[in-house]
Amino acid sequence: MRTLFHPLTAKIVDRFRNMSIQMVISLSFTAVAVMGVFCIGLSLLLCFSDLSKTQAQESAQRLLAQVNLNLDSYLHRMMRISDAMYYRVIKNTDLAEGTLASEMNLLYDENRDALVSIAVFNSDGGLEGAVPLSGMKASADPAESRWFQMAIERMENLHFSTPHIQEIFDDPDHRYRWVISLSRYVQLTRGGNTESGVLLVDMSFSGISQVCRNVELPNSGYLYLTDRTGELIYHPRQQMIYTGLLEENNLKAAGYPDGVHEEEFQGTRWQVVVKTVGYTGWKLVGMVPESGLIGDSDSLLPFGASLLLFSAFLMAFLNFRISAYISDPIRRLEQAVKDLEAGCESIEIEETGCYEVRRLGRSIRSMVSTMRHLMDDIIQQESQKRRSELEVLQSQINPHFLYNTLDSVIWMTESGRNMEAIQMVTSLARLFRISLSKGRRVIPLADELEHARHYLNIQKIRYRNLFDVRITAQPGTEGLFTLKLTIQPLLENAITHGMAGSVEDGLICVDARREGEDLVIDVTDNGVGIRPEIVSTLLDENRPALRTNGSGIGVKNVHQRICLTFGRKYGLTILSEPDEGTTVRVRLPALNEAAAEHYRQEDSL
């Protein structure tokens, strides 16, 4: 069994695995809901069927009790007629002196609606009196009749026969009427002596029929009446049974005690309700077909199926909508992420659906927003880098600087200071060579210091040795690398702003040293210094750029380049005291050859 179901289970699981979340939710919920509705429907059906059965039984029993009451009343009326005939007429009549006719006629007239005839016979079957017909048939032999013999045999009882054709009296209209005979033993008085006799009251069969007819039991059921042996007295389709067109289970039913029984007869299950009619021992039998009472009735099953289908339809519709409510926002998020991957920038991340999905959307939107900011930052940083580099390159060809330097060379040459002119031109050439450095951003510290030195040489010549220069590199800085053109702008700044207004001998010191993992370069001048309110704004990114007559590269530019290249923990620090001087401290990472190579590769990318 397990091997039989395993492939099936695996197939279903596989199928489910490949389904969308919406289909899984829809189908699972719908299937569970339909099963639930089916179970509830089934239990309701069973409850309803039990209830229907019970109600049908109770209803049938009530109807049978009512019919029994009516039948009992009808039979008692017949018995009262018999009693009246016996005690009021027969007992008071001496047949030797008079006849029974007038009293019998009166009694008959009073009850002619229910009677066919009243007759009194002597013990030999001879007629003593009869109404309304008085002529016996030639072939009639009452003494041989069963009703007569029963009356004689059981003198103390009244005897009810089963339906039969009235056969004693000659009817001039040739009417053959079905009657039920009530017979009893009577004592006739003749000449003061008593004789045995039989009183016969023939009841019209229609009287019994009227009591039992038109009784509608539940579910098109019917009732019939049998005597204690099971012979039919009344049946709604009596003629069909008599002619063999129909069969009834009357013989078996007559054996049932009072109450409700179940039986199967000719392929149909029946509830058989039995009630014994008092005195006569007759049995009223109510037949209620079970098939229409419960679930397989013509109307209940389609109704139940319709209800089940309606529930399934409703559940399926709701489940489809709910699953769509859950899955559609997820699907839209998925699509938005795919579009983002494809590079589409104008994607709006929705925050719709249920709480969890909204949160997911919010997270994705936040993530996308962060990504965009980061990308903007990167773009901005790259842009700044490029701009800074451009500015540096521009500085190398600053026309004023070049013009002034070349003008100084001319002036020195004209004045015969050839050696100085040669030195100046040599320094200028060296300055440009180091500036280019094959396009590298990161160059050895030694080159950077040499660049600074050449620059200062040129400036010293131009400023006629207005200031002295001291460049030192402490031990441990050998082999370290630095960002190109870091010191020169600071020197330019020191010369322009520090030395220009100084009257004493100026001094500009460049000192490089290693502090742990950092390379620190101090550019110090003993110039006029900078006011504190200006110091605090010099490195401000939002400060408008100031054009100078120098190389055009400001302190801020150096600071930004260092920060962009190595991060915010590196950069410049400006320490200044008015009339004392200024120190600009450059802090860089202590880059060795390998680290410097890494930055060079980035440049090449």
Shortest separation between residue 518's beta carbon and other proteins, angstroms = 59
Decide: is 303 part of the binding site for other proteins (CB under 8 A).
yes
Q: Which stretch binds other proteins (CB under 8 A): 125-133, 231-239, 460-468, 490-498?
A: 231-239
205: contact with other proteins by CB under 8 A? yes
Rounded to the nearest 10 degrees, how much is the dihedral formed by the CA atoms of 378, 380, 383, 389?
A: -80
In terms of C-beta density within 10 A (0-12 exposed, 13-18 middle, 19 or more buried), how is residue 66 classed? exposed
Q: Which is nearer to other proteins, 211 or 260 (CB)?
A: 211
* Shorter beta-carbon distance to other proteins: residue 178 or 463: 178
Buried b (16+ CB within 10 A) or exposed e, 227-244: beebebbbbbebeebeee
Residue 340 half-sphere exposure, CB side, CA atoms within 13 Å?
A: 16
| Paired tokens of 504 | 């004493």
Among 3, 139, 346, 601, binds other proteins (CB under 8 A): 139
Q: Contact between 16 and other proteins (CB under 8 A)?
A: no
Is 547 in a helix, a strand, or coil? coil
Stretch that binds other proteins, among 23-31, 277-285, 396-404, 442-450 (CB under 8 A): 23-31
How far is the C-alpha of 489 from the C-alpha of 451, rounded, in Å? 11
Q: Which of 318, 331, 369 is nearest to 348 (CA)?
A: 369
Under rule CB under 8 A, residue 26 binds other proteins: yes
Q: How many chain residues are in contact with other proteins, going by CB under 8 A?
A: 44
Answer whether 202's CB lies under 8 Å from 77's CB: no
Residue 214 as a binder of other proteins (CB under 8 A): the answer is no
In this chain, which of 22, 59, 388, 427 binds other proteins, going by CB under 8 A?
22
Q: How far is the CB of 436 from other proteins (least distance, A)?
A: 59
Choose which of 82, 238, 486, 576 interacts with other proteins (CB under 8 A).
238
Helix (H, G, I), strand (E, B) or coil at 471: strand
What is the nearest approach in angstroms of other proteins to the Cβ of residue 81? 21
Which residues, 6+ apart, have CB-to-CB distance to 459 below 8 Å? Answer: 491, 492, 495
Binding status of residue 237 toward other proteins by CB under 8 A: yes
167 binds other proteins (CB under 8 A): yes
CB atoms within 10 A of CB 447: 17
CB of 158 to other proteins, least distance (A): 22
Instruction: Tell me the closest approach of the beta carbon of residue 329 to other proteins, in angstroms.
Output: 13
Nearer to other proteins, 279 or 317 (CB): 317
Q: Work out how close the CB of 61 gets to other proteins at its nearest, in angstroms, rounded to a whole number.
A: 24
Provide, rounded to whole angstroms, the least separation between the CB of residue 244 and other proteins: 7
Q: How far is the CB of 122 from other proteins (least distance, A)?
A: 22
- Name which of 37 and 100 has its Cβ closer to other proteins: 37
Give Cβ neighbours of residue 59 (< 8 Å, ≥ 6 apart).
217, 218
Q: Is 20 in the site for other proteins (CB under 8 A)?
A: yes
In angstroms, what is the minimal distance from the CB of 602 to other proteins?
44
Nearer to other proteins, 35 or 165 (CB): 165
- Find the binder of other proteins among 234, 282, 467, 481 (CB under 8 A): 234
> Is there a cis peptide before residue 444, judged by omega within 30 degrees of 0?
no
Beta strands in 111-258 (DSSP E): 115-122, 127-131, 158-160, 164-165, 178-190, 193-204, 222-226, 232-234
Q: Identify which of residues 331 and 514 has a Cβ nearer to other proteins in the complex.
A: 331
- The radius of gyration computed from the CA coordinates of the chain, to the nearest angstrom, equals 65
Helix pair 355-396, 555-566: axis angle to 10 deg: 130
- Specify whether the CB–CB gap between 123 and 155 falls below 8 A: no
- Residues 551 and 398: their CA atoms lie apart, in Å, by 6
- Order across the sheet with 232-234: list the strands: 232-234, 222-226, 283-289, 268-276, 259-265
Piece in contact with other proteins (CB under 8 A), picked from 46-54, 171-179, 258-266, 391-399: 171-179
Q: Is 220 in the site for other proteins (CB under 8 A)?
A: no
- By CB under 8 A, residue 302 contacts other proteins: yes
137 interacts with other proteins by CB under 8 A? yes
Single residue of 2, 3, 17, 243 touching other proteins by CB under 8 A: 243
Nearest residue (CB) to other proteins, 20 versus 73: 20
- Residue 89, CA atoms < 13 Å, CB-side half-sphere: 25
| Shortest separation between residue 128's beta carbon and other proteins, angstroms | 23
Rounded Cα distance between 171 and 178, Å, is 13
CB of 252 to other proteins, least distance (A): 20
Q: Are 361 and 351 in contact (CB under 8 A)?
A: yes
Q: Which of 415, 419, 526 is nearest to 470 (CA)?
A: 526
Cα–Cα distance measured from residue 487 to residue 42, given in angstroms and rounded to the nearest whole number: 93
Our CB check for other proteins shows the closer of 132 and 236 to be 236
Residues 312-331 that bind other proteins (CB under 8 A): 312-313, 316-317, 320, 331
The answer to whether 242 contacts other proteins (rule: CB under 8 A) is yes
- Closer by beta carbon to other proteins, 179 or else 272: 179
Under rule CB under 8 A, residue 309 binds other proteins: yes
| Other CB atoms within 10 A of residue 424 CB | 23
Pick 160 or 234: Cβ nearer other proteins: 234
Minimum CB distance to other proteins, residue 20 (Å): 6
Give the one residue of 38, 48, 178, 256 binding other proteins; rule: CB under 8 A. Answer: 178
Alpha-helical segments (H) within 222-261: 238-242, 250-253
Residue 96 Cβ vs other proteins, minimum distance, rounded to whole Å: 34
Measured from the CB of residue 134, what is the shortest distance to other proteins in angstroms?
18
Residue 403 near other proteins by CB under 8 A: no
Instruction: Report residue 375 as tokens.
Output: 């990308």
What is the Cα–Cα distance from 219 to 186, expressed in whole angstroms? 47
23 near other proteins (CB under 8 A): yes
User: Can you list the alpha helix ranges (DSSP code H) found in 111-233?
Assistant: 146-153, 205-212
Window 104 to 133, contacts with other proteins (CB under 8 A): none
Scanning 397-444, the segments in alpha helix (DSSP H) are: 399-414, 418-436
Min dist. Cβ of residue 286 to other proteins (A): 18
Q: Which positions touch other proteins (CB under 8 A)?
A: 20, 22-23, 26, 30, 137-139, 163-165, 167, 174-178, 205-206, 209, 213, 234, 237-240, 242-245, 298-299, 302-303, 305-306, 309-310, 312-313, 316-317, 320, 331
